[in-house]
């Protein structure tokens, strides 16, 4: 029997109390060697909703599962119709104060690395270098047949040519790039094959139910080993892909700090969880450290 991936998490015990005190975060960053692990919550101020927070997309939307995408032509049609429309909204998203703060901390040598669970490219657009995209990027497309990589812009052009009259109005956008469309709006949307071999195209992202590559996981584990502390930004840590690095850090005696509005699955491993809006919190920390935030200079698409 096929197991469904973990989409939600319910605490089985009372979570540790949260705080609004940013001094532990400022102290950790001031000491340097901080590894940032970011989730969907850092992008909400850029207009991209998160999965599980208040009003999160999981309350109205079930993300595409890898097994469904690979096993059903209709599922792929539905996915690409929704994603094609959602990609336009992603292309208009701009980095917010949280992304700019992370980039500024990196420029001032306070970070040992940045791992993001997001696929929106906003850390890089804000100026962060060397970002590890744990779950890939919507900016790339991979062929499941020949493995060829291509740019999402090129696929968007081909899909527009194949579907010149496709212009439904979406009810919203989701953190995985999907637009909220009904099956009647998807209609007979035409999916295009790989231009090289005619194979199935998939965004170069890790779907729910799909494993992160072992090489990428080991790279992230190396970053945890090299860090002095780990700072989690805007992640509920519900899925193991991010939680395992928090557990690794805590088991090796490294300090874990979390900034997230809701309780997370990693709270019991953390020295503190700060319950404040991310943009304002990180701007305050930057001010305390005397670090100016730069203006965003690039869009995602």
Q: Over the stretch 237-274, which tens digit does the pLDDT of each residue have?
A: 998 999 999 999 999 999 999 999 999 999 999 999 99
Is 197 annotated to bind a ligand? Reply is yes
Residue 259 among known ligand-binding residues? no
Which of the listed residues 184, 205, 226 is the one where a domain comes to its end?
Answer: 205
Q: Is 118 annotated as a binding residue?
A: yes
* Residues 248, 191 within the same domain: no
Same domain? For 265 and 177 the reply is: no
Q: Are residues 275 and 184 in the same domain?
A: no
- Looking at per-residue pLDDT, the higher value among 17 and 193 belongs to 193
Q: Mark whether 227 and 290 lie in a shared domain.
A: yes
In a domain, residue 9? The reply is: no
Domain termination site, one of 205, 233, 254: 205
Mean pLDDT of the chain: 88
Q: Do 254 and 112 share a structural domain? A: yes
Does 12 fall in a domain?
Answer: no
244 and 145 within one domain? no
Residues 159 and 187 in one domain: yes
Taking only the tens place, the pLDDT of each residue in 50-71 is: 654 454 444 445 678 999 999 9
Q: Which domain holds residue 82?
A: 57-92+139-205
Number of domains in the chain: 2
Task: Answer with the one of 166, 182, 205 that is the final residue of a domain.
Answer: 205
Instruction: Say which residues have a Cβ less than 8 Å from residue 46's Cβ, sequence separation at least 6.
Output: 93, 94, 95, 96, 99, 120, 122
Q: Are residues 148 and 67 in the same domain?
A: yes
Give the separation between CA 153 and CA 178, rounded to whole angstroms.
16
Q: pLDDT tens-digit profile of 272-298?
A: 999 999 999 999 999 999 999 865 443
- Mean pLDDT, rounded, for 96-117: 98
| 63 in any annotated domain | yes
Q: Domain with 36 in it: what CATH number?
A: 3.40.50.1220
What percent of the chain shows pLDDT beyond 90? 71
Q: Are residues 244 and 295 in the same domain?
A: yes
Pair (86, 102) in one structural domain:
no
Does 57 belong to an annotated binding site? yes
**Does a structural domain hold residue 13?**
no
**Do 151 and 262 belong together in one domain?**
no
**Residue 143 maps to a domain:** yes
Label residue 169 by pLDDT band (50, 70, 90): confident
Residue 32 marked in a binding site: no
Residue 4 forms part of a structural domain:
no
144 and 282 in a single domain? The answer is no
Catalytic residue among 61, 99, 123, 135: 135
297 found inside a domain: yes
Look at residue 166 and tell me if it is in a domain: yes
> CATH no. for residue 78?
3.30.1600
Active-site annotation holds for 135 = yes
């Amino acid at each position: 029997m096929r197991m469904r991936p973990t989409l939600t998490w319910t605490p089985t015990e009372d979570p540790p109390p949260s705080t609004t005190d940013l001094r532990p975060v400022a102290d950790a960053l001031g000491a340097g060697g901080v590894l940032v692990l970011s989730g969907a919550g850092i992008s909400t101020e850029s207009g991209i909703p998160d999965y599980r927070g208040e009003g999160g997309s999981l309350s109205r939307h079930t993300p595409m599962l890898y097994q469904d995408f690979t096993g059903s032509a209709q599922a792929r049609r539905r996915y690409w119709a929704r994603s094609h429309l959602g990609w336009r909204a992603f292309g208009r998203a701009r980095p917010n104060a949280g992304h700019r703060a992370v980039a500024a901390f990196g420029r001032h040598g306070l970070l040992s690395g940045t791992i993001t669970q997001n696929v929106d490219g906003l850390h890089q657009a804000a100026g962060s270098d060397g970002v590890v995209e744990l779950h890939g990027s919507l900016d790339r497309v991979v062929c499941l047949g020949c493995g060829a990589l291509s740019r999402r812009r090129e696929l968007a052009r081909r899909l527009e040519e194949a579907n010149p009259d496709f212009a439904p109005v979406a009810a919203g956008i989701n953190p995985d790039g999907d637009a909220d469309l009904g099956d009647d709006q998807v209609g007979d949307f035409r999916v295009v094959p790989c231009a090289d071999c005619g194979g199935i195209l998939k965004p170069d992202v890790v779907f729910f139910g799909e494993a992160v590559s072992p090489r990428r996981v080991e790279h992230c584990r190396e970053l945890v080993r090299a860090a002095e502390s780990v700072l989690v930004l805007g992640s509920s840590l519900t899925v193991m892909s991010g939680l395992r690095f928090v557990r690794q850090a805590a088991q090796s005696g490294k300090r874990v700090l979390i900034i997230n509005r809701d309780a997370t699955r990693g709270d019991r491993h953390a020295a503190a969880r700060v319950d404040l809006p991310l943009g304002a919190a990180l701007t305050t920390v930057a001010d305390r450290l005397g670090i100016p935030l730069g203006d965003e200079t690039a869009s995602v698409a």
